[in-house]
Amino acid sequence: MSDLICIDLFSGAGGLSEGLELAGFHSLYASEIVPVYAKTYQQNHPETLTDVRDIRSVDPAEIRERIGICVGDLDLVAGGPPCQGFSINAPVRSNEDPRNHLFRDFLRFVEEFKPKAVLIENVPGLVSFEHGGTLHAIIDSLAQLGYGADVHILGAPYYGVPQMRWRTIVMALRGSVIPQSAWPEPVRHAPLRANFATKFDGHNIVKTPSPETSAPFTTLSEAIGDLPPLRNGERGDEIKPYAMEPTCDYQRRLRVGSAGVINHEAGRLSAINMERLKYIKQGDNWTAIPHDLLPKGMQRARRTDHTKRYGRTPWGEIASTVLTKCDPHWGAYFHPEQDRAYTVREAARIQSFPDHYVFCGAQAEQYAQVGNAVPPMLAEAVGNSLRAVLEGH
């Protein structure tokens, strides 16, 4: 595999870099303003220059010189910059939106490094934001810098990630239009439904499996079924032994390089949540809880609303989207069998992080790092297809 070089801006805890590294990209520099996120990134990518300064104060030319890269030699500038405030056609007041300036800082690095390719990841809602105006502004801005850009929305379960998650991926190639082959073809089928705009400029941009795709999705059981059991609030040893030998390829893959199970400690659910949990079997949600035990706001909710709250996903299904905290009030985060919520390691497994990946900080900070990350397996799939384009270009 080639060793292409990249930088990762707005890197978070490093999910995008981790996946790109598996695809043959080596990250020379990462920018992340939240200290504990940067600490996690540095812990897991010790050879990368990790910068915790505000990106608005960073000189891209200084960084290029520090990492010893000539203009035009970098293969990829990647990252997840906030884009929703960026629009070159918006009213003047949008220039006061700090997110606007953050995307302009991403462009400053593109302009300085002149990489062969650019990769931007964001939420699916980016496509419809300002009726497509923001996404048009991004593509037009890249064109002004000499890059041919395009966009697709990818479903993580189609690439083996055991979780309902969609990401918008913008990619661009220096000096030419980016080919459709830069986006990976789905390799698995999954019961995904899009609850967002699926068209841009009249074209469907959601990548879906072909009828010939027969490989099944990765289930919750395959994702976390081999991890050691815990009671509510149990912390145990910092490194725990696995509960069993791996039962599937997913578990074997994520155990590579691991000496045991870390970041696997059960948060303590409140007494009222433990009482609610008694009524919830696999496949159930808040509607199984007696009315007088529900939070006041949910006592007034329609039974067809909030279908994931206080949920228990069955072992054979795909996990719900991991958010920045595995609070049962906001989603299906009760363990399928054990009377507790997911641990950080279980959330990380659902996000496709390898077991050797260490998350730093307090437990709440660890959950946030996992929930905000790009699933590494999705990033790897994108990286592999983009690498093929770069090597053939």
Q: How far apart are CA 281 and CA 27, in angstroms?
A: 44
* Residues noted as catalytic: 83
Q: What is the dihedral of CA 153, 156, 158, 159, to 10 degrees?
A: 110
Pull the structure tokens for residue 94.
């949008």
**Kind of pairing, strands 117-122 and 147-155?**
unpaired
Give the pLDDT of residue 94: 47
Q: pLDDT tens digits for 153-212?
A: 999 999 999 999 999 999 999 999 999 999 999 999 999 888 888 999 999 999 999 988
Q: How far apart are CA 28 and CA 383, in angstroms?
A: 16
Q: pLDDT tens digits for 4-14?
A: 999 999 999 99
Read off the pLDDT band of 90 (50, 70, 90): very low
pLDDT at 2 over 80: no
Give the pLDDT of residue 85: 65
pLDDT at 287 over 70: yes
Q: pLDDT tens digits for 333-345?
A: 999 999 999 999 9
List all residues 6 or more positions away from 107 whose beta carbon is below 8 Å from its beta carbon: 141, 142, 145
Question: Quick one: residue 263, left, alpha or beta (phi over 0 = left, psi -120 to 50 = alpha)?
Answer: left
Q: How far apart are CA 107 and CA 130, in angstroms?
A: 20
Q: How far apart are CA 319 and CA 344, in angstroms?
A: 14
Strands (E), 10-75: 25-31, 49-51
What CATH architecture applies to the domain 4-213+375-392?
A: 3-Layer(aba) Sandwich (3.40)
User: Which residue, chain included where needed, has tokens 């419809």?
Assistant: 128
pLDDT at 97 over 70: no
